[in-house]
Amino acid sequence: MTELKNDLFLRACLRQDVERTPVWMMRQAGRYLPEYRATRAKAGGFLDLCRSPELCSEVTLQPIDILGADAAILFSDILVVPEAMGMKLTFGVGEGPKFPDPVTCRADVEKLPVLTDPSDGLGYVLDAVATIRRDLNGRVPLIGFAGSPWTLATYMVEGGGSKNFSKVKAMMFNEPETMHLLLGKLADSVAAYLNGQIAHGAQAVQIFDTWGGILTTRDYGEFSLAYMQRIVGQLTREHEGRRVPVILYTKGGMGWLEAIADTGCDVVGLDWSIDIDQAKARIGDRVALQGNMDPTMLYAKPGRIREEVRDILARFGHGNGHVFNLGHGITPDVPKEHAIEFFRAVREESVRYHQAAS
């Protein structure tokens, strides 16, 4: 196995010493990069791109070359899991994802298989993981990912994105057993899928719970967190002689940081609604923190972006366990130069917080 040339990200995830704060960005391979748009055009469409290991690798490496990101993230989508369970999935141009035949009742849920073997249906993603590892050649670690069961269920029941989540909420309230059956199948499928990614070379994994924040505290515990916990309990935690850090990110979940840290994850992903010093005071002695610049700050002038980076670094202060990131994904209309400045600012401004104590 090739030695990692830059393992700052993995060290920060485990709260070990680093020379500067590592940085990567959710959705770092994406439409704000003309290079990404060119590769997607070459592939045909978004799902064609996801299905080509060579082109996935190409777009995964673009932000490493262009931004100097300290970690690569597998190029894929969270919705390939329900697709592999048999649901038709489409991504129209300029539209979000659609499941034209959504899950509507208990019988629909009963029909869905548990994907115990990800090489069956998701083999192309595992091939992409192996191809990316080969092409990275040890430059930076590779992050694998999946959606949380609750977040996947929202798309499967709503049939796509949603404003008020009426269908998935109605199912949760009216037929809690049906919802639990669905979430259990998703949790076990996602756990096997993430273990497949780890076996093929993912060196850390992140679970995206984009829609956990729409739940009450009680429902979050019962319908989202419990199933992320069930996944964490099944994951391979060591591979290639190193710990494989697990990152849990719940957008809108900043009220529940202690409960998230209690799952046994290594890193808690923060959205931008909390000041990172507050998050650090609450859980920073137990887990590393990832985040948390407001993604819309990337619309500001480069000088203002740098000021914000400085403020977040100062709030975290000295000490280990910070992976710099945005609080959610970068949006497609951000100027590429602003993203480059964000990465440069973190690299330059963070050094002072990691000098040996004198």
Check if 77 is active-site.
yes
User: Measured from the CB of residue 257, what is the shortest distance to ligand CP3 in angstroms?
Assistant: 18
Per CB under 6 A, 26 contacts ligand CP3: yes
Which contiguous run of DSSP H or E holds residue 290? strand 288-293
| Calpha distance 130→269 (Å, rounded) | 25
Identify the helix (H) or strand (E) that includes residue 269. strand 267-269
Could you tell me if 305 and 345 are in contact, meaning their C-beta atoms sit under 8 angstroms apart?
A: yes
Which is closer to ligand CP3, CB of 46 or CB of 353?
A: 46
Annotated catalytic residue 262? no
Q: Which of residues 30-69 bind ligand CP3 (CB under 6 A)?
A: 30-31, 40, 46
In the shown chain, the binding pattern of residues 119 to 158 toward ligand CP3, with x for contact by CB under 6 A and - for none, equals --------------------------x-------------
Between helix 53-67 and helix 336-349 the angle, nearest 10°, is: 60
CA-CA-CA-CA dihedral for 273, 244, 4, 193, to nearest 10: -90
Residue placing its CB nearer to ligand CP3 in the complex, 36 or 316: 36
Beta strands in 152-241 (DSSP E): 204-209, 238-239
Cβ 245 to ligand CP3 shortest distance, Å: 16
Select from 97, 58, 104 the least CA-distant residue to 81. Answer: 97
Determine which residue in the list 6, 35, 77, 275 makes contact with ligand CP3, applying CB under 6 A: 77
Give the footprint of ligand CP3 on residues 238-297 (CB under 6 A): none
Q: Verify whether residue 242 is a known catalytic residue.
A: no
Q: Catalytic residue at 31?
A: yes
- The verdict on 97 binding ligand CP3 (CB under 6 A) reads yes
Q: Which of 161, 176, 255, 317 binds ligand CP3 (CB under 6 A)?
A: 161
Shortest separation between residue 197's beta carbon and ligand CP3, angstroms:
12
- Distance between CA atoms of residues 107 and 38, nearest Å: 42
Site residues for ligand CP3, 313-352, by CB under 6 A, read 329
210: left (phi over 0), alpha (psi -120 to 50) or beta: alpha
Q: Is 27 a catalytic residue?
A: yes
Applying CB under 6 A, does 99 fall inside the site for ligand CP3? Answer: no
Q: What are phi and psi of 247, to 5 degrees?
A: -110, 125
> Within the chain, what is the greatest distance between any pair of CA atoms?
65
Residue 185 CB partners (closer than 8 Å, separation 6+): 85, 109, 112, 113, 114
- Residue 317 Rama label (left phi>0; alpha psi -120 to 50; beta): left
**CB 231 to ligand CP3: min, Å:** 15
Q: From 70-78, 80-88, 121-129, 226-234, give the range in contact with ligand CP3 by CB under 6 A.
A: 70-78
Q: 242-243 and 246-250: which strand pairing? A: unpaired
Among 18, 29, 207, 283, binds ligand CP3 (CB under 6 A): 29
Give me the catalytic one of 15, 20, 133, 155: 155
| Nearest distance, CB of residue 303 and ligand CP3, angstroms | 26
Nearest to 79 by CA among 145, 20, 6: 145
State the catalytic residues: 27, 31, 40, 77, 155
Q: In the complex, which residues of this chain contact ligand CP3 (CB under 6 A)?
A: 26-31, 40, 46, 73, 75, 77-79, 96-97, 145, 161, 208, 210, 329
